[in-house]
Amino acid sequence: MKAKQIHTNTFIDQKEVVIVELKNDKGSFVKLFNYGTIINQFVVTNAHGEQQDIVLGFDKFEDYINPAYLANYPYFGAIIGRYANRIKNGQFELDSIEYQLATNNGKDCLHGGEIGFDKKVWDIVNIGEEPHASVTFQYFSLDGEENFPGDLAIQLTFELTNNDELILTYQADTDEATPINLTHHSYFNLSPKGESIINHIHQMNAANYLEQDSNFVVTGKLIPVVDTIHDFTKPKAIGANWDSESGYDQTYVLDKEYGALTLASKTTETSSGLSLLIYTTEPVAHLYTAKYLSVKNGKNGKDYGEFDAFCVETQHHPNALNIPHFPSTILQPEEVYTQTTIYKVLIH
């Protein structure tokens, strides 16, 4: 197991952007930036003995802050916070106080506002090699940042095991009640040539999905997946019976005990022989098949377009701040927020 830092000599807000590389004994490795805790590479060995990178991104850090990329920003590989997904009208009420957030997605707030945790340089508080190659990042979100209340301290630890598991462990605390809903936004493609993900075989352990309005904000209504295109309770090709114009951009309520670490989804690709299993303590997972992806000059000069990747964003119920019957996403000062999500890669 190895863990090392690589300096970029690039500074943002007077903090250096650093690459952290985690490597296991099998030769698999992950490269992370402390900027947005971006997963830049996740390289494993496929069924043909070839090393294969399974996440989308760029070869150079500078491309992650390029204005052309940010103009149609897909949040490649970054943490999402203080609040993932959409908040209706960017508004919520907490302790009889009305809060207005940025409306950066139509009339709604998306992924924490204009400058979320994905655009911050995180501190590196620990790098280790036992029992697994690991790194812990930390960020302090001050009261009023993006108009959220309370000082929030967040730590995110990545561990790469010899079983090709990338374990993400989140922890946070606050000095006053505040909303929190964190996720990570990696774009996966298991094809050796990065072909469309329509033939990836996907399974999601969810009997219900959440109704959304025209801007993809959840309304609070659960809809059974049975007899719909959203039924992934048994494995099927992502493109088997979908709306080929839109793909999937949908939140699924996982069949599980609240807070338990269980299997959320399994995605398999035939030509690579790879499967990606995602385990999480979170109650929902958002499946996005990159309908709106349009990025020039990605890794090895490849242009990325619609359906070139899939995301499984583990999180709490979106817009729960405005839907009382959803599990609470308010963190109190006496509480500690925790979440574990595991990306496990297997040869099937």
As annotated, the active-site residues are: 185, 313
The C-alpha atoms of residue 213 and residue 230 are separated, in whole angstroms, by 16
> Tokens in use for 103?
């409306």
Strands, E, within 95-237: which ranges? 97-100, 109-110, 123-128, 133-141, 152-160, 165-174, 178-179, 183-185, 201-204, 208-212, 218-224, 236-237
The C-alpha atoms of residue 237 and residue 223 are separated, in whole angstroms, by 21
Percentages helix, strand, coil for the chain (3-state, rounded to 5) are: 10, 45, 45
Residue 289 carries which side chain, given as an amino acid letter?
T
Which sign, positive or negative, has the C-alpha torsion 8, 10, 12, 16? positive
Residue 26 carries which side chain, given as an amino acid letter?
K
> Tokens in use for 342?
């595991």
> Tokens in use for 334?
């006496």
